[in-house]
Amino acid sequence: MRARKADGHLAPAMRPGRRKDPLIKPYVKWAGGKRQLLPEIKKCLPENLGRLRYYEPFVGAGALFLERQPRRAVINDNNGQLMLTYKVVRDHINELISLLHLHKASNSEEYYYRIREQDRDGEGFAGMSDIQKAARLIYLNKTCYNGLYRVNSQGLFNVPYGRYANPSICDEPVLRAIHGYFTHETVKVEILSGDFGIAVETAGRGSFIYFDPPYHSPGNTNFTGYQAGGFGEDEQRRLRDVFVARTDAGARCLLSNSDTPFIRELYSDNRFEIIAVKAKRAINSDGAGRGDVGEVLIRNWR
Ligand SMILES: C[S@@+](CC[C@H](N)C(=O)[O-])C[C@H]1O[C@@H](n2cnc3c(N)ncnc32)[C@H](O)[C@@H]1O
């Protein structure tokens, strides 16, 4: 028997749960995407994850988030164009799918460069609707070289055309399944776009945070693979401070990063467990480092 509140309605915590939808997976390919590492990550999750509020402040394509499909979540990335696509999948799925079908029908090298150029015209770009911007990002992501989202120092998307024989520009079943998840009556996902520190400020006891930042890359101080700006050692230190602050606030925290002496030293606090894992990386800064690379998962409980 499920508990009833005084007004006769089922207590929210006891409402029949939504089943996880196995169709759901990332709808964009993203540098640092975690699909390869998922089996290792899943071994390190807290047992009571289903009862915790889920935070992912560097969500990217959301491999873990979309696999878990948590009921209460906060997702964030400082890439505003990417986070806009999540909102459009939630709020305007039919219009988005129509536009993606149009892009698919028009796809060619010449068309790709025409769409890519749209962000060169500041005013024109600002005048585009959110739905048009989201469809543009997904289209470019599916057809660009290596599926690597990269902008130049002015923040302009600058990846060349990928020449795929049959790119799946509109994966309609996956997009509709994600829309169904976001809009399910038992689900509440907050979609933010800002700095990681702000996104997790409300996480404390009863919360779980998965931090998947741009990885520490000692030999390469400039490349982040994502956007202008960068994520150097100062940022890694700032992230460690946030990890410690959220630990003190009682949140369960899990973080992935590369296995370097710098990272091991940063997280040498004896409340933290460092677990070495191996993962295959599909996207790398220069392609030279493809293959097995050492990574660590760091968690604040044992
Ligand atoms: C390793 S990727 C995350 C990959 C993701 N877990 C996935 O499965 O696709 C790191 C992400 O951090 C974002 N990022 C970089 N600096 C950030 C910051 N200061 N605050 C929030 N997000 C940031 C990047 O835009 C990128 O999407």
The domain ranges of the chain are: 23-78+194-299, 91-169
pTM, two decimal places? 0.89
From ligand 1's centre to the CA of 58, what distance in Å? 4
Our mutation pick for probing the ligand 1 site, out of 35, 216, 226, 257, counting the most ligand atoms within 8 A of Cβ, is: 226
Question: What is the rounded distance in angstroms from the CA atom of residue 74 to the CA atom of residue 200?
Answer: 8
32 lines ligand 1 (CB under 6 A): yes
Average pLDDT (215-228) is 61
Are 297 and 41 spatial neighbours (Cβ–Cβ below 8 Å)?
Answer: yes
Give every CB contact of residue 35 below 8 A, 6+ residues apart in sequence: 25, 26, 63
Other C-beta atoms lying within 10 Å of the C-beta of residue 98:
13
Q: How far is the CA of 51 from the centre of ligand 1 (A)?
A: 25
- Alpha-carbon torsion, ordered 212, 216, 217, 220, to 10 deg: 100
229 contacts: CB under 8 Å, gap ≥ 6: none
pLDDT in tens, 128-187: 999 999 999 999 999 999 888 788 878 888 999 998 888 999 999 999 999 999 999 999
Distance 181 CA to ligand 1 centre (A): 22
The CA 76 to ligand 1 mean position distance, Å, reads 8
Beta bridge partner(s), residue 278: 294
Q: What is the mean pLDDT of residues 250-259?
A: 97
Average pLDDT over residues 263-282: 89
Q: Please check the confidence at residue 9 and state whether its pLDDT lies above 70.
A: no
Is the distance from CB of 290 to CB of 281 less than 8 angstroms? yes
Q: What is the pLDDT of residue 121?
A: 84
DSSP 73-98: EEEE-S-HHHHHHHHHHHH-HHHHHH
Predicted confidence (pLDDT) at residue 252 exceeds the cutoff of 90 = yes
- What's the pLDDT score for residue 290? 46
Say how many Å lie between the CA of residue 225 and the centre of ligand 1: 10
> Among 82, 80, 70, which residue's Cα sits nearest to residue 32?
82
23-78+194-299: CATH class:
alpha beta
Mean pLDDT of 196-214: 98
Residue 116 reports pLDDT greater than 70 = yes
Please give the residue that has the higher pLDDT: either 111 or 284.
Answer: 111
* pLDDT band for position 104 (cuts 50, 70, 90): very high
Task: Please choose, from the candidates 166, 31, 178, 40, the residue with its C-alpha nearest in 3D space to the C-alpha of residue 96.
Answer: 178
Positive or negative: CA dihedral 127, 128, 134, 140: negative
Name the least confident of 6-20, 60-74, 84-98, 256-270. Answer: 6-20
Least confident piece of the model among 6-15, 56-65, 70-79: 6-15
Confidence of residue 205 (pLDDT cuts 50, 70, 90): very high
Domain 91-169 superfamily per CATH: Adenine-specific Methyltransferase, Domain 2 (1.10.1020.10)
Mean pLDDT of the chain: 89
Q: What is the mean pLDDT of residues 115-133?
A: 92
Q: Is 83 in the pocket of ligand 1 (CB under 6 A)?
A: no
- Nearest Cα residue to atom 18 of ligand 1: 195
Atom of ligand 1 nearest to the CA of 229: 16
- For atom 25 of ligand 1, which residue has the closest CA? 79
Cα separation, 166 vs 292, in Å, equals 29
Q: Give the ligand 1 atom nearest the CA of 32.
A: 1
